[in-house]
A and B are shown apart, each in its own frame.
Chain A
């Protein structure tokens, strides 16, 4: 363990995809504890930022994890340093069973936290022999989160976990994310502001491929004008904590 410094640092990330300049010098640091939420309207580069951190898209700039420069490392080496990743599209292997989807994520033997995964998502244990492709969207999301929690990770990166889910499921997934955040720092990409409010922590706001705001998440969400200006949400986030349900889709700019 190095001395208390940022856990994750991204400096001047630039990404071009097919000639479009998607990230234009994104710089942020993520503290060693708690949740850091990556916020912004659709298409401002949140997912690309996450992929750039993981080396899943070609990028320039510098990325450091736990004080070590990981810019030149391939994705698998970056992840092996202790990162759990839940992509936006969940990345569940449809033709593999639930158990196999978890098994493939196993890294160091003897450290797998099946207890935690099954405590959070008892459903996964019941359906272990079922092909993941036959799960509902919510169950697939749980599998994806469970897969990221399986290893003793130092950081979780969770990209829009509540996107496209039914309100009832949103609550369950939000619970899981909040519970995970108690154990391990989380970099959360989210448009559901009630979830962001619930987990608290820091906020990094992107607009048009640039960081336009950083600061504590609760402070930002309390400032309705600022929220409207930065996130384009007409009404500041719905009531805090726990009752995440109805806030899911409202105020979201349509994709």
Chain B
């Protein structure tokens, strides 16, 4: 087969290359993340109100709850980005491991009355094992075939949960969190702040694990696999175990996210098992910028925030418009889906690539003027 490449289509690739680290920066690399973490952790002590962005003060339960949501999805999207952005694995089944964590934890607490910590531990272990097992099968094939296998596995899980053959998953209704075995600190509106901190912790853990692994020797192999898997194989490195490692770690982190999600929402429904759910993760990661430092968290945070706000407003913001415009705009997924398509066209690198693109555009303009 002839390698076919469109001369014009591949030409603009240059400006998606990562910008070289600027030399003038003297601040250590860890300072930024630590600052972000400190700000996030101390946020609940602030009574600041941000009109327009959040309805109540920053430390009001409603705001904290929304932020906790954003952070859970930030961590989850980071775990997805480990596959998609760092290794180049297109999985359509990430929802399965997230749902595995959430459902297992809910069931363990409900049926065996296991304490939260034990339930969390067992469900993360279960999620990790499940992703190891299914990943071992799915990664036997490559590319789209692998994507389809992950999709099919997740679909099987989704059907299992929704049909509920053993009358345990609650079917379409889902399960609510059994508050009896959850520590009081995580129960009730007054304790939203603790849920928020749990979400911060989860997002931090997911981010640190992914960053740390990506910087390790394993991460360099991942980079190689992402760029050109065949070349890695030619160099005598079998890509399979490395891909499986990413798949397993990603699955494990997702199932941990499931547990935190269970706490934050106080229950689970089958919507988190669906293919659409995984597709939204893909949208979040691509929105922020796949494989970049902050992309997944940023994309997920923004997406979750936007969806929540759009849903909350229920399209009232658009009620002044004629009905045929207002009706579609009342659907968050319509707005987000359309925006996403536009973004794929105009900002292929996602939000994190935006500053670099703006800089290079400005530079081009400057050189054009000279």
Contacts and interface: CB of A to CB of B under 8 A. Distances in A.
B7 A59 contact: yes
Contact of B7 (A18, A55, A87, A91): A55
Given A57-B3, A87-B2, A91-B2, A18 B10 contact: no
A212 to B, nearest CB: 25
A58 B1 contact: no
A87 B3 CA distance: 11
B238 interface: no
Contacts of B231: 18
A87 B1 CA distance: 9
Given A56-B3, A57-B5, 13 more contacts: A18-B228, A51-B2, A51-B3, A55-B7, A56-B2, A56-B4, A57-B3, A57-B7, A58-B10, A58-B11, A59-B7, A87-B2, A91-B1
B6 A58 contact: yes
Of listed B4, B11, B231, residue having the most chain A CB within 10 A: B4
Nearest to B13: A58
17 contacts: A18-B227, A18-B228, A18-B231, A51-B3, A55-B7, A56-B2, A57-B7, A58-B5, A58-B6, A58-B7, A58-B10, A58-B11, A59-B7, A87-B2, A89-B1, A89-B2, A91-B2
Contacts of B228: 18
Nearest to A73: B7
Contacts of A58: 5-7, 10-11
Interface of A: 18, 51, 55-59, 87, 89, 91
A57 B6 CA distance: 7
A211 B281 CA distance: 50
Contacts of A87: 2
Task: Name A's interface SS.
Answer: loop
B229 to A, nearest CB: 12
Nearest to B6: A58
Contacts of A51: 2-3
Which secondary structure characterizes the binding site on chain B? loop
Interface residues of B, number: 12
A10 to B, nearest CB: 14
Nearest to B7: A58
A211 to B, nearest CB: 21
Contacts of A89: 1-2
Nearest to B1: A89
A99 B231 CA distance: 38
Contacts of B1: 89, 91
B217 to A, nearest CB: 21
Closest 8 CB pairs of A and B: A58-B7, A58-B10, A58-B5, A87-B2, A56-B2, A57-B5, A55-B7, A18-B228
A58 B5 CA distance: 6
Contacts of A56: 2-5
Interface string B223-266: 00001100100000000000000000000000000000000000
Contacts of B5: 56-58
Nearest to A18: B228
A183 B227 CA distance: 45
Interface string B1-31: 1111111001100000000000000000000
A91 B3 CA distance: 11
Contacts of B7: 55, 57-59
Contacts of B227: 18
A180 to B, nearest CB: 21
B56 to A, nearest CB: 52
A189 to B, nearest CB: 14
Nearest to B3: A57
A90 to B, nearest CB: 10
Residue of A56, A59, A89 most packed against chain B (CB within 10 A) = A56
Nearest to A48: B3
Nearest to B9: A58
Contacts of B6: 58
Interface string B107-150: 00000000000000000000000000000000000000000000
A232 B11 CA distance: 36
A98 B231 CA distance: 35
B3 to A, nearest CB: 7
B1 to A, nearest CB: 7
A91 B6 CA distance: 18
A51 B3 CA distance: 9
A69 B338 CA distance: 41
Nearest to B4: A56
